[in-house]
Structure 1
């Protein structure tokens, strides 16, 4: 039993990494996000959403996000507000079922445009 606790503690000290890759397609900045979005990893997403020289239209492709907590929700809401104020928008594409459930529970899917696929998000 003690070994299980130690292994659990070690895992908590080394949270899953988050990767965010940015590209531009049709004048829209596309962020391909993979991993877990939480208070340990959220800065990578925040920085990617906060690029001042990029287009104010952004799609966050979430099909490889395995987990998102309130930190991720706050990052998305702040980016939505900033991009909207700049005359642009934020759309979320292809959230996994667990991430979509989180978005629905807190009502983000009624504030930020969520699409089933990246293609749908790019088409508007």
Structure 2
């Protein structure tokens, strides 16, 4: 197995209810989220997912600490998926909690965006 190199980009934001930490591993952006994704925190996630100017962006969103997500989060994920795909890259979700996975499944996002049980599997696939 190839050695994973983790580089902290120093980008960490926290608003009431959501923490976003951006790191990079072997050219893959990893956004580690903790808390709630809703209309109060959506702009923070939208900014973190911005791929403007990125060449073939590859992004994994680690959702193992997301406790709640409403339609705001669903819309942001779909918009980010479209932007990343149009730029020739990909977007994957890792480790969504049961409640978040249920929402993703109900609305069919898990049929559009790859969901993996762990961060390691999302990075390796």
Q: TM-score, normalised by structure 2?
A: 0.84
In the alignment, does 2:100 pair up with 1:103?
no
Q: What's 1:19 paired with?
A: 19
Aligned length: 110
Per-residue deviation, residues 65-86 of structure 1 (Å, max 9, x unmatched): 0000000000000000000000
**RMSD between aligned residues:** 1.4
- Find the aligned partners of 1:24 and 1:51 in 2 and give their Cα distance: 14
Per-residue deviation, residues 38-85 of structure 1 (Å, max 9, x unmatched): 011111110000043556100000000000000000000000000000
- Find the aligned partners of 2:96 and 2:43 in 1 and give their Cα distance: 19
Q: What's 2:75 paired with?
A: 74
Say which SS state the counterpart of residue 87 (structure 1) adopts.
coil
Deviation, structure 1 residue 17? 1.5
Q: What's 1:93 paired with?
A: 94
Instruction: Name the one with the larger helix percent.
Output: 1
- Find the aligned partners of 2:37 and 2:16 in 1 and give their Cα distance: 9
Instruction: Name the one with the larger strand percent.
Output: 2
Unaligned runs of 5+ in 1: 1-14
- Find the aligned partners of 1:100 and 1:53 in 2 and give their Cα distance: 30
- Find the aligned partners of 1:53 and 1:28 in 2 and give their Cα distance: 15
Deviation, structure 1 residue 102? 0.2
Q: Greater CA radius of gyration, 1 or 2?
A: 1
Per-residue deviation, residues 95-119 of structure 1 (Å, max 9, x unmatched): 0000000000000000000000000
- Find the aligned partners of 2:19 and 2:47 in 1 and give their Cα distance: 11
Say which SS state the counterpart of residue 44 (structure 1) adopts.
helix
Unaligned runs of 5+ in 2: 1-14
